[in-house]
Structure 1
Amino acid sequence: MLTPSDLLPDVPGATSARFATRLAAHGDRTALVTADGELSYRRLAEKVTRTAARLGGRRRLVLLAATHTTDVLVTYLAALSAGHPVLLVPGDNAAAVRSLTAAYDPDIVVSTDTSGGLRLDERRAVSAHDLHPDLALLLSTSGSTGSPKLVRLSYDNLQANAESIADYLGIREDDRAATTLPLHYCYGLSVVNSHLLRGAGLVLTDRSVADAGFWDLFRAARATTFAAVPYTFDLLDRIGFADLPLPHLRYITQAGGRLAPDRVAHYAELGRREGWDLYVMYGQTEATARMAYLPPHLAATRPEAIGVPVPGGSFQLEPHPDWPDEDTGELVFSGPNVMLGYAERPADLALGRTTDALRTGDIARRAPDGLYEIVGRSSRFAKIAGLRIDPERVESLLRRRGHSALCAGGDDVLLVAVTGPADADTIRRTVTGEYGLPPRAVAVHVLPELPRLATGKPDYQAVRRLGGDAGPPPEAPADLRRLYARILDRPDVTEDDSFVSLGGDSLSYVEMSLNLEETLGHLPPDWHTTPIRDLRRPEPPAPSRKRALETGIALRAAAIVLIVGSHIHVIYVKGGAHLLLALAGYNLARFHLTPSAERRERVRHGLRSIARIVLPSLAWIALVVPLTDDYGLSNLFLLHSVLGPHDSETAMHFWFIEALTYILVGTIALLGLRAVDRAERRFPFALPMSIAALGLVTRYDLPGLQDLGHVPSAVVIFWLFALGWAAAKADSTRQRVLVTVVALATIPGFFPGEPFRDAVVAAGFVLLVWVRRLPSRGWINSAAGVLASSSLYIYLTHWQIYPLIDDFSGWLALLASLLFGIGYATLANRGMRWAAGVRKRRSGVSCGHA
């Protein structure tokens, strides 16, 4: 059978990357998974052979505009296997394609047309260039725009690096890697090369990890790994990655810049609990991607280290005058994956090896345990959001725009100091637009004059000391910490904390969300699990009175109004209490069942939430029992559902409080079991769905239950609570559809003869599952927030308030009930905060005496 390497001309020294020429050896194993289906290695090899024939037998320079499509990947492999050097450029950057086409005059330009098909422009039959036999690949040094300075990589570089990576990651034939990074970026390309080497699969997609569709494909393809740069983890935090069910995930790799040690430790610990590994790695394009990796078992204990050299490579520390400490110096890497050298013009394509060892520009130390750590840089280059940025070029860019500036960078932020008059937002947009950086990664400081040394030279250390505030939002993290501390009554708030980690629950959620929206000007997605340090005001929007209201808050506010109004008989819409029960399950899952929380922490937070329901309820019932004959001791101890009397309509007033308490106590007790805790973490959606299925036994009053006598309301309706729990954990379209179908199939008929009541509960549930926010106005948000946060207390007290007024006016009775409940909520919250403060002070006194 003809293979691509058979088409390679007889050029002395010509070779090819073996991972690209031996695809057929993997037979019918799955090579590619796309949204359209799967492609075997045998079929991939056939496509590569045909494309190699189309590229021809004479070596030519191929410029390939890279995208995550099968045709582009086939072209890349075909060119490699047939000996054509490839210049990879970003397929979504027309300017880079034009710039590098003009700079290097490629013989063939391959790009994607507007219909998504491949366009192959053969500009000449014989190459215009003298191409060195070892030259295989040309990549930008930064993975960004069309800079003419390129890294020259050989076939041996590609093969050696693929083998090294496959070795230390232990890539297996049954692994499947999702393409989360661009192919023109050396890190993203190394994922492709190393997996093809081992006959593993690639899940070919251009979707972002912030897209729910990415995770649908990831699960459907049974993917086992994906690659991440530091910014990827910001996106993972925002989408609630810790809550995603990923049963086949085996490991995550991280490179492309320094990930903060606390983030490394956090994700390493998350992986330990969930059964996957975190590989932190260090590399540069000049080393064909990777030079070091941190063994995953050390990620939690040594998160600040880059680890050890990759197999086949070695480090040396070259003394540096600015870093005289022992075992510290500039990091120099040697190995078979070190580039041939740089190219800055077409004539350089004829050069052979001009580089034997790679001076990384990073200052490192070798710790006593043998691990290497990066402690500084010997050059001014900075790696930010996975891109290598030259601050001098940023200065030149701003100088051309009429600004005098000094720039310095670290691993997380590019610091720009400019002299006034200048607009920080305009300068930030200029820099981010030119280099593709996210706004959070550029901090602009407008100064009266630029910092200088005594010699008159720029003082870049002074620029670095300006810190990393990216165009300061009016609310500093300290302001947000004070807000969290006040609402949650937690004086120990740090920037790494989130609403959930601080023990926030459904009662404090509403108050916190409204205050946060007012402070930030918007409510970030998944703010309740987002660390405070990541909450920032966005670019100022155009003035508008339009706002958005979280569906859960809107439903809680509407439900309590419907409940009270239906009891007074001014609103004839029932079903609010049962909708609140589903919302309770939804909120339990959101606030207490995050994977980052340990089992004991979950139980502790759950018990605190139960106390916030039970204590104010007992206080109110204790107050009213002596004043009326409607209630007895069974109500005082929330036992009426069990002890009766069951023929008293007034004694049933607090059935919802009792049912919610019983369900929460049972759920928290269940989750306190180690086996159930493990099951919930592994099957976060399947577990509540299974519990809901068990609840249908009592929902449908199946044969045999009649013999048990009176069954408490909590036993009959807990399936709704479980469905709300499942709705919060439904992270894919398929799961949301499933929980919706189950709800729509089981809610109708629950209230015999009251189809409209069934419809209210079903409609509210569907809205909760599918619509995260509703259009609103500021005053509506404020009103809904107050009602939602006070809903429990309004329900508790309205039984005693509206009878005093409804004979005069039912609508006035409704208003009075709502206002009294809001007042009681304020009083109860202050009382609980005061009690918590007393406990803390007593604890402090005890510790002092100890």
Structure 2
Amino acid sequence: MLLTPAAGGGRPAAPPVHGPALVADLARHGSATALVEDGHRVTYGDLARMVDDRAEALGTTRRLVLVAIRSTTTSVVDYLAALRGGHAVLLTADDDAVVAGLVAAYDPDVVLRPDAPVDERRVGTAHDLHPDLTLLLSTSGSTGSPKLVRLSRENVDSNAAAIAASLGLEPDDRAVTSLPLHYTYGLSVLHSHLRVGAAVVLTGLSVVDACFWDLVRAEAVTGVAGVPHTFELLARTGFTGAGLPALRRVTQAGGRMAPDAVRRWHETGRRHGWDLVVMYGQTEATARIAVLPPHLTGAHPGSIGRAVPGGELRVEPVPETADDPDAGELVYRGPNVMLGYAEEPADLALGRTLTELRTGDLGRQRDGVFEVVGRRSRFVKLFGLRIDLGVLDARLADAGLVAACAGDDDVLVVVVEREGLERGGAAGAGAVEAVRRRLAGACGVPGTVIDVVVADALPRLASGKVDLPAVRDLAARRRTTGGRAADPTAGAWGTARQPAHGASVEGLRALYAELLERPDATADSTFVGLGGDSLSYVEVAVRLEERLGTLPPGWHLTTVRDLAAAAHQDDGARRRGRLGGRLETSVALRAIGILLVVMTHSNVLFVPGGAHLLLGVAGFNFARFQLSAADRTTRVRRVGASLGRLLVPSVLWISVAGAVTGLYSPATALMLTNVLGPDGWGSAWHFWFLEAVVWIVVGVTALLSVPVLDRLERRRPFATVGMVLGLGLLFRFEVLALDTGPTIQTPQNLLWLFALGWAAARAATVWQRLAVTAAALLTVPGFFDNPLREALVVLSLAALVWVTGVPFPRVLSRVAGVLAAGSLYVYVTHWTVYPYLEDDYPVLGVLASFAVGLAYWQLVERVTRRVTLVRRQTQERRTAGSRATTPA
């Protein structure tokens, strides 16, 4: 049900001010820029009006409002409006599973999600909400945790003001969403900048993406926030901040960073004109607790600094630090300390249950600043010795290793990232043994109870923090299998090897890293998020199906972690998956389409329409992959990368074939036949399919780069594709006409068919699926003047709409997967193979066409991976050289 404003004549007055002052005072900053998204600027005055309008729609009855937030203007407006109206806001990530879990646990009255209708679950409220309750956040960055932190208006306002004062934020400052907004650190960036009238640039790009830094430069960003993992990623890319004249500060929080790394980044910033600001915080204190002034960083790189204005830190002795009189638990008192925790809806009625925060961190004070030395809750007991895992993590970090420890009273498990070992000049069993000896010496225990696991990457949360529960789960699995000696998943030198069914988180992450050439893949990565497209989709899908048995719907948008969890099904299902599975419909259609194209051209059979079938599939995949990007910049980058993978091998082959045979003009090779004409070459239209795909994708991407259309596509994706379909039908029925070539082979005349495939991907309801099916039945007949071709196209579109997977024997599904994955290359090369065999040996012509095409596919893949590897190694050598000469 949609929310509606209160009844009455005229426009109702703005809702009473109940929310934090930083929201109520938005309008006072007037024409200053508040938000920037994809080049579109929103002033504070406009933002205040948008927030008031949205708050008005939410009504004046105070309710529990769940806001699933992204780094977009509409999502931020939803969040601020809920605060503005005085509601209790439960903020979380925009993730189906997380939202479902919190809805089940807390039964919110309203659910607001990006690009989705308002879900008003009841009129009024089902909850007794304490008057001070303003914001609810998941604890410790573990999004979706049913244990929530209860925050008040005073908590939010005081911490925003304290952070702004600590950093010296001014109205001309400009931040960027380098961290997710549902994470308390990322949210505090938004709060503190709104507090002083500064601007925030909204983006979903990663700091390892060159486009992120292009955006930082173009928008004159003055501040970037990061957690330790952010800095690990930046170090791999050789980032120094050079060429960013507006950059003033880079803040670090979210966990301890090794003192040597702090010192290197501090010196790098000084050389390039920006400050490294080390900070310390917890969700329970609304965000940040302490700040290390940049001028003290060089002398105290292991420190967290001093309490933020209005706060007080002290060290309180605890039994764990009895042997160190200067150490104890860090205890914080200040106006930003939470009201308390909530573990069930009844807790939302509670007021303040504590006045100070026992952080759980062990620390000491030296020279007027504080440092963290361990964690009370992270202890194991081996041979009667109490071992602080946090201290071990810190020691390994100080040695240049990215690692995390876990265990119980029988075994200590440490997961170490491979790159750190190799960067130190060691590898193999010797490197693992060195880590084991280091830990054994630090703990005073035998090395036989220490198990070292080497992984490409530590499991991490969306915030970038190490996923300690996942590390503990690994330790528990190692414990139950007898540790290092008896663990059947242990590799030759301690590296975790795939379980029999190949569905471990690390195994799937490594598969993504290999097939998508993305070593930065994590447990929270998705196929689409890593830049996967229709060309890489088939190979990844087939390889995943071999490991998982059956792919879940929407797997390309599912995280590696969730795929691995879904794979832990019953043994019977896995056995059935080995004997037979389901081939994803678009993959099956690609295999069928290329078979029909080659067999029809070779005169083995006559079933025309294979290429047009593939065009519908191209539209289907365009919607799933390119249009799933979080912002326009990422969309354009993905489109460019995908077109590059299509064009480079195609243009290369056509150019060489044209030079050798004289069949093709330069216009054909450059996909310009539709623009320049065939120039007398009889074979000019051989590659009409490729040319149609290229120009349709380019045209649609340009169209959706218009901000208003981009926003419309995100909010109403099915309506938007309906508009594109309508435009295409104007050419289909010759209301508009461009005579540039054969009617059934030119981009403008095929836009409607591409749009039908796109609509099939966007059809989310039964009525929408029926609409797409009806559109195919009404528009395809009569276009080709060939009933067989038309029936094939209609059936393929209907399959995309209604059928998610096709039952296939395992052996045949692998063959179909290979044909589908190599379909582009077979299509490009078969024109120069089958004509020499079609008259006398048509079947041989088909076999030879596939053999040459698949061989060319493998050659291109190998060359591409080799080039990528060389480029990465060159970058790593440059980075290593930079580290050796300058502390960066």
In structure 2, the CA distance between the partners of 1:363 and 1:592, relative to structure 1 (3 Å rule), is: same
- Which residue in the other structure is 2:792 paired with? 760
Q: Distance in 1 between matches of 2:373 and 2:562?
A: 25
- Which residue in the other structure is 1:120 paired with? none
Q: Does 1:594 align with 2:632?
A: no
Quick check: which has more Rg, 1 or 2?
A: 1
Post-superposition Cα deviations, 1:53-112, rounded to whole Å, max 9, x if no partner, equal xxxxxxxxxxxxxxxxxxxxxxxxxxxxxxxxxxxxxxxxxxxxxxxxxxxxxxxxxxxx
In structure 2, the CA distance between the partners of 1:326 and 1:337, relative to structure 1 (3 Å rule), is: closer
User: Conserved in 2, the CA contact under 8 Å of 1:230 and 1:256?
Assistant: no
Q: Distance in 2 between matches of 1:777 and 1:722?
A: 32
Q: Distance in 1 between matches of 2:766 and 2:738?
A: 39
Post-superposition Cα deviations, 1:211-241, rounded to whole Å, max 9, x if no partner, equal xxxxxxx9xxx9x999577896645699xx9
834, 852, 864: which one aligns with 1:802: 834
- Which residue in the other structure is 1:297 paired with? 191
662, 668, 683: which one aligns with 1:635: 668
- Which residue in the other structure is 1:532 paired with? 560
Q: Distance in 2 between matches of 1:807 and 1:234?
A: 58
Post-superposition Cα deviations, 1:318-353, rounded to whole Å, max 9, x if no partner, equal 9561488688339999999999xx9xxxxxxxxxx9
**Identity %, equivalent residues:** 33
Q: Distance in 2 between matches of 1:820 and 1:326?
A: 70
Q: Distance in 1 between matches of 2:96 and 2:758?
A: 26
- 1:722-741 correspondence runs (5 A): 722-741=755-774
Deviation at 1:487, TM superposition (A): 1.9
Larger deviation, residues 359-368 vs 551-560: 359-368
- Which residue in the other structure is 2:723 paired with? 690
* Secondary structure at the counterpart of residue 593 of structure 1: helix
Q: Does 1:259 align with 2:141?
A: yes
* Secondary structure at the counterpart of residue 783 of structure 2: coil
- Which residue in the other structure is 1:624 paired with? 657
One-letter amino acid of the structure 1 residue matched with residue 571 of structure 2: P
Deviation at 1:620, TM superposition (A): 1.7
- Which residue in the other structure is 2:331 paired with? 329
* Secondary structure at the counterpart of residue 811 of structure 1: helix
Q: Distance in 2 between matches of 1:591 and 1:792?
A: 17
Q: Distance in 2 between matches of 1:655 and 1:772?
A: 29
One-letter amino acid of the structure 2 residue matched with residue 527 of structure 1: W
540, 543, 546: which one aligns with 1:515: 543
In structure 2, the CA distance between the partners of 1:783 and 1:356, relative to structure 1 (3 Å rule), is: closer
Q: Distance in 1 between matches of 2:694 and 2:112?
A: 28
- 1:773-792 correspondence runs (5 A): 773-792=805-824
- Which residue in the other structure is 1:574 paired with? 608
Deviation at 1:782, TM superposition (A): 0.5
Q: Distance in 1 between matches of 2:725 and 2:852?
A: 36
Q: Distance in 1 between matches of 2:679 and 2:686?
A: 12
Post-superposition Cα deviations, 1:780-836, rounded to whole Å, max 9, x if no partner, equal 220111010111111112222222333334333323322222122112222333344
In structure 2, the CA distance between the partners of 1:559 and 1:254, relative to structure 1 (3 Å rule), is: farther
Larger deviation, residues 723-732 vs 778-787: 723-732
Q: Distance in 2 between matches of 1:199 and 1:775?
A: 52
One-letter amino acid of the structure 2 residue matched with residue 245 of structure 1: D
* Secondary structure at the counterpart of residue 628 of structure 2: coil
234, 237, 245: which one aligns with 2:115: 245
User: Conserved in 2, the CA contact under 8 Å of 1:568 and 1:806?
Assistant: yes
- Which residue in the other structure is 1:661 paired with? 694
In structure 2, the CA distance between the partners of 1:41 and 1:680, relative to structure 1 (3 Å rule), is: closer
- 1:268-279 correspondence runs (5 A): none
Deviation at 1:701, TM superposition (A): 0.9
In structure 2, the CA distance between the partners of 1:689 and 1:489, relative to structure 1 (3 Å rule), is: same
* Structure 1 length-normalised TM: 0.52
- Which residue in the other structure is 1:644 paired with? 677
* Secondary structure at the counterpart of residue 329 of structure 1: strand
Q: Distance in 1 between matches of 2:681 and 2:584?
A: 38
Post-superposition Cα deviations, 1:377-399, rounded to whole Å, max 9, x if no partner, equal 98899xxxxxxxxxxxxxxxxxx
Deviation at 1:779, TM superposition (A): 0.9
* Secondary structure at the counterpart of residue 282 of structure 2: coil
In structure 2, the CA distance between the partners of 1:242 and 1:617, relative to structure 1 (3 Å rule), is: farther
* Secondary structure at the counterpart of residue 582 of structure 2: strand
* Secondary structure at the counterpart of residue 757 of structure 1: helix
One-letter amino acid of the structure 1 residue matched with residue 191 of structure 2: H
User: Conserved in 1, the CA contact under 8 Å of 2:626 and 2:635?
Assistant: yes
- Which residue in the other structure is 1:547 paired with? 581
Q: Distance in 1 between matches of 2:498 and 2:869?
A: 37
Larger deviation, residues 791-800 vs 554-563: 791-800
* Secondary structure at the counterpart of residue 832 of structure 2: helix
Q: Distance in 2 between matches of 1:449 and 1:656?
A: 55
- Which residue in the other structure is 1:583 paired with? 617
User: Conserved in 1, the CA contact under 8 Å of 2:362 and 2:374?
Assistant: no
User: Conserved in 2, the CA contact under 8 Å of 1:489 and 1:833?
Assistant: yes
- Which residue in the other structure is 2:283 paired with? 306
Q: Distance in 2 between matches of 1:470 and 1:482?
A: 10
* Secondary structure at the counterpart of residue 840 of structure 2: coil
- Which residue in the other structure is 1:28 paired with? none
Paired residues, what number? 557
In structure 2, the CA distance between the partners of 1:650 and 1:707, relative to structure 1 (3 Å rule), is: closer
Q: Distance in 2 between matches of 1:669 and 1:581?
A: 19
- Which residue in the other structure is 2:40 paired with? none
In structure 2, the CA distance between the partners of 1:333 and 1:774, relative to structure 1 (3 Å rule), is: farther
User: Conserved in 2, the CA contact under 8 Å of 1:318 and 1:332?
Assistant: no
- 1:382-461 correspondence runs (5 A): 444-445=476-477, 447=479
In structure 2, the CA distance between the partners of 1:634 and 1:448, relative to structure 1 (3 Å rule), is: closer
Post-superposition Cα deviations, 1:467-525, rounded to whole Å, max 9, x if no partner, equal x9999986554443433333223344444433223322211111112122223444344
Post-superposition Cα deviations, 1:265-297, rounded to whole Å, max 9, x if no partner, equal xxxxxxx999xx966799xxxxxxxxxx97963
- Which residue in the other structure is 2:593 paired with? 559
Deviation at 1:614, TM superposition (A): 1.5
Deviation at 1:739, TM superposition (A): 3.4
Q: Does 1:747 align with 2:749?
A: no
The alignment yields a C-alpha RMSD, in angstroms, of 6.1
Post-superposition Cα deviations, 1:12-39, rounded to whole Å, max 9, x if no partner, equal xxxxxxxxxxxxxxxxxxxxx6xxx999
In structure 2, the CA distance between the partners of 1:326 and 1:748, relative to structure 1 (3 Å rule), is: farther
Q: Distance in 2 between matches of 1:666 and 1:552?
A: 23
One-letter amino acid of the structure 2 residue matched with residue 720 of structure 1: L
User: Conserved in 2, the CA contact under 8 Å of 1:333 and 1:359?
Assistant: no
* Secondary structure at the counterpart of residue 582 of structure 1: helix
Deviation at 1:258, TM superposition (A): 3.7
- Which residue in the other structure is 1:498 paired with? 526
What runs of 5+ residues in structure 1 fail to find an aligned partner? 1-32, 43-162, 172-194, 210-217, 265-271, 283-292, 343-352, 369-373, 382-403, 409-437, 452-467
In structure 2, the CA distance between the partners of 1:706 and 1:675, relative to structure 1 (3 Å rule), is: closer
Q: Distance in 1 between matches of 2:65 and 2:804?
A: 29
Deviation at 1:693, TM superposition (A): 1.4
- Which residue in the other structure is 2:733 paired with? 700
Q: Distance in 1 between matches of 2:137 and 2:874?
A: 48
Q: Distance in 2 between matches of 1:817 and 1:664?
A: 27
